[in-house]
Amino acid sequence: GQNIDQPTEMTATEGAIVQINCTYQTSGFNGLFWYQQHAGEAPTFLSYNVLDGLEEKGRFSSFLSRSKGYSYLLLKELQMKDSASYLCAVRDRRGGNKLTFGTGTQLKVEL
- Minimal CA–CA distance to 86: which of 94, 78, 97? 78
Residue window 19-58: x/- pattern of binding to other proteins, with contact defined by CB under 8 A: -----------xx-x-------xxxxx--x-x--------
* DSSP string over 15-55: T--EEEEEEEE-SSEEEEEEEEE-TTS--EEEEEESSSEEE
Least distance CB 110 / other proteins (angstroms)? 23
Q: Which is nearer to other proteins, 89 or 107 (CB)?
A: 89
Contact 98, 92 (CB under 8 A): yes
Residue window 81-100: x/- pattern of binding to other proteins, with contact defined by CB under 8 A: ------x-x-x----xxxxx
Contact 39, 106 (CB under 8 A): no
Q: Which is nearer to other proteins, 70 or 101 (CB)?
A: 101
- Minimal CA–CA distance to 91: which of 14, 43, 34? 34
| 54-83: contacts with other proteins (CB under 8 A) | none
Chain residues that interact with other proteins, rule: CB under 8 A: 30-31, 33, 41-45, 48, 50, 87, 89, 91, 96-104
